[in-house]
């Protein structure tokens, strides 16, 4: 189970204030795109995604979007937000992450990964050796490639909740 235990749990990335990351010593925020920031159908960032990223950048954070989806899905979206991105990231594997860390000179202890899936996002954070925030999906609908992962995600998530292993981020903030 510890392979899937996130550092924190949040209902969504949108409920977390920018000051939280400073409080826990994070400078680099790696965010999953589909069902974490927006629906996979949103080719452009939503108003709230624009506001969130704008706010994080203003507060001095280094924001990077990391997705298993293809370049054509993320490129325009990330460019509109003026953030760096990694496509076809092959989460849960660490290989492309490690390259990303080298490329931008990121320190693992100053980096957190935020995503809506245990099997890809949280598992990747464990393999890379960084902290994570697991979120709930923001829209009901998933891309078909995610349906398979959800079959595994749901029972593990339930079990983690039952064992009180989904630690709310507010516990380290308020």
CB of 36 to Mg ion, least distance (A): 5
Q: In what order do the strands lie in the sheet with 28-31?
A: 8-10, 131-135, 111-115, 28-31, 62-66, 84-86
Q: Are strands 62-66 and 84-86 parallel, antiparallel or unpaired?
A: parallel
Per the CB < 8 A criterion, the answer to whether 78 and 65 are in contact is yes
- The Cα–Cα gap between 79 and 45 comes to 10
Among all chains, which residue has been given the structure tokens 């899905």?
Answer: 73
CB of 4 to Mg ion, least distance (A): 15
Which residue number, 22 or 152, has a Cβ lying nearer to Mg ion? 152
Per the CB < 8 A criterion, the answer to whether 160 and 12 are in contact is no
CB of 3 to Mg ion, least distance (A): 18
Which residue number, 116 or 153, has a Cβ lying nearer to Mg ion? 116
Residues interacting with Mg ion, by CB under 5 A? 32, 34-36, 116
Which residue number, 58 or 119, has a Cβ lying nearer to Mg ion? 119
CB of 121 to Mg ion, least distance (A): 7
- The Cα–Cα gap between 167 and 18 comes to 18
CB of 25 to Mg ion, least distance (A): 25
Which residue number, 20 or 121, has a Cβ lying nearer to Mg ion? 121
Cα-Cα-Cα-Cα torsion 77, 87, 21, 26, nearest 10 degrees, comes to: -140
Per the CB < 8 A criterion, the answer to whether 7 and 112 are in contact is yes
Which residue number, 11 or 163, has a Cβ lying nearer to Mg ion? 11
């Amino acid at each position: 189970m510890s392979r899937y235990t996130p550092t924190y749990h949040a209902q969504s990335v949108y409920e977390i204030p920018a000051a939280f990351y400073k409080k826990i010593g994070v400078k680099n925020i790696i965010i999953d795109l589909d069902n974490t920031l927006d629906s996979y159908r949103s080719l452009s960032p939503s108003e709230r995604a624009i506001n969130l990223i704008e706010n994080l950048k203003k507060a001095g954070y280094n924001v990077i979007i990391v997705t298993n989806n293809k370049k054509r899905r993320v490129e325009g979206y990330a460019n509109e937000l003026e953030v760096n991105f990694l496509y076809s990231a092959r989460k849960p594997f660490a290989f492309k992450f490690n390259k990303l860390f080298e490329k931008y000179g990121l320190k693992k202890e100053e980096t957190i990964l935020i995503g809506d899936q245990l099997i890809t996002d949280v598992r990747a954070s464990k393999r890379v050796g960084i902290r994570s925030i697991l979120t709930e999906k923001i829209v009901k609908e998933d891309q078909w490639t995610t349906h398979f992962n959800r079959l595994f995600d749901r029972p593990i998530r339930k079990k983690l909740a039952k064992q009180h292993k989904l630690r709310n981020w507010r516990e380290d903030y308020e």
